[in-house]
Amino acid sequence: MLFSRNQVIRNIRRKPLILVGLVSLVALVYLAFVGTTLAAGQRSTKKYSYSKKGGLWLGSKNKDLVILHNLPDNHILHYDLNKLAATADVLGNEGEVLILTPMTKFLPEYWANLNKLSYDHSMISLGFIFPRNAEGDQALKLLEQAVKETQATKGRFKKITMLRQDTDALDLQLEKERHALKVQKERRAMMAVARNSLLFTTISPKTSWVLWLDADIVETPPTLLHDMMAHKKPVLSANVYQRYLDENGAPAIRPYDFNNWIESEDGLKIAEGMNDDEIIVEGYHELATYRPLMAHHYDDKGDKNAEMPLDGVGGGAVLVNADVHRDGAMFPPFPFYHLIETEGFAKMAKRLGYEVVGLPNYLVYHYNE
């Protein structure tokens, strides 16, 4: 039966309870909608939202993340990053680990060493980024072959991501040329961009730890992850050495990475006299900072768990609590307090209030070219 507009109005006037019922119904619907929205956002006074095809992302200042997927069953995934455990249990496995490696050259020793890690591989994800050049193409091809073999075994890793840089790369790849002072600012700026791209693409809400492991690190203790996690430090760097044969042909070791250091008065004075766009790169006689270098503090008879505070780190083997990255510590591709890339990352982490520590007697070994 159809009613005219006037008939409806007359019926409402005669029976005011109809009007009250309609208003109440609208109010209930409104409150239900608003109440649900407030419940989703009450974890923080500041909310952020981002929508795209396939889902809605709601984040908040206190790291509580909610992802709403437009699935048929309206499934909702909750990630409370405040409760994400990044603690250490030496006998077990605490938290998911993301191992990240910028790779220019594939070394079978690096991959074999990675496969020997005692940490549960099902809780380890790997991420790699390659330069857009012939050397990067070859490294990617060799890694893909190695990945296929490993992932077909019981020791397979949880997830493996391979990326290509969307920026140019230096073609100078011989060790002597890579480490020349004149190319450091450009080279390390490119490395910083690559590291950031790799990090931001691969880190997940479930990541507890990030291990930065250089592609040239060919020997570490199998217990590397457990050993470093046990220190419970936000940023922790191992000491990078290199095996070689001395003049008598006998096996020996020598320090390799000089980017793990403590700031010095000389270093600060050099920085004061620099232009804003200039950087200090450690390990070069042209820039004599006289900083205490962790590489020179190795004691073969000392406790391997001995710690020392650091102001700069290299990228050889650095374990980072994932919250440090989530809070904004990245690898500056620009001069940051006259530091760049990994050393700039250490400075940024400290500016955010995080402790940066080194293990002078805990050695990992770099490939000897």
Give 258-306 pLDDT, tens digit per residue.
Answer: 999 999 999 999 999 989 888 888 766 777 899 999 999 999 999 999 9
Residue 7 belongs to a domain: no
Residue 224 lies in a domain: yes
pLDDT tens-digit readout, 96-125 = 999 999 999 999 999 999 999 999 999 999
Let me know if residue 354 belongs to a domain: yes
147, pLDDT greater than 90? yes
pLDDT number for residue 46: 37
pLDDT value of position 80: 66
pTM: 0.76
pLDDT at res. 86: 57
Cβ-based neighbour number of residue 34 at 10 Å: 10
Q: From residue 182, how far is each of 126, 162, 176, 185, 274 by CA, in Å?
A: 32, 30, 12, 7, 16
Domain count, the chain: 1
Is residue 209, in this structure, part of any structural domain at all? yes
**Which pLDDT value is given to residue 362?**
98
Residue 80 has a CB neighbour count (10 Å cut-off) of 13
User: Looking at the predicted structure, is the pLDDT value of residue 218 above 60?
Assistant: yes
Residue 134 belongs to domain with CATH number: 3.90.550.10
Whether residue 74 is contained in a domain is answered as: no
Secondary structure letter of residue 81 according to DSSP: G
Segment 156-203, tens digit of pLDDT: 999 999 999 987 665 544 455 555 666 778 889 999 999 999 999 999
Check residue 170 and give its pLDDT. Answer: 57
Query: Is pLDDT of 6 > 80?
Result: no
Mean of the per-residue pLDDT values of the chain? 81
pLDDT tens digits for 28-60? Answer: 544 444 444 434 333 333 333 333 333 333 333
Pairwise CA distance, residues 98 & 159, whole Å: 9
Q: Which structural domain, as residue segments, surrounds residue 336?
A: 95-366
- What confidence score (pLDDT) does residue 177 get? 54
CB of 299 within 8 A of CB of 305? Answer: no
328 within a domain of the structure (yes/no): yes
Q: Count of alpha carbons within 13 Å of 248, Cβ hemisphere only?
A: 3
Q: Please name the amino acid found at residue 352.
A: L
Residue 294 near residue 321, CB atoms below 8 Å? no
Question: Is 110 buried (19+), middle (13-18) or exposed (0-12) by CB count in 10 A?
Answer: buried
In a domain, 106, yes or no: yes
22 domain residue, yes or no: no
Task: Identify the band that residue 227 occupies on the pLDDT scale cut at 50, 70 and 90.
Answer: very high
Q: State the Cα–Cα distance between residues 161 and 345, nearest whole angstrom.
A: 23
Residue 154 confidence (pLDDT): 86
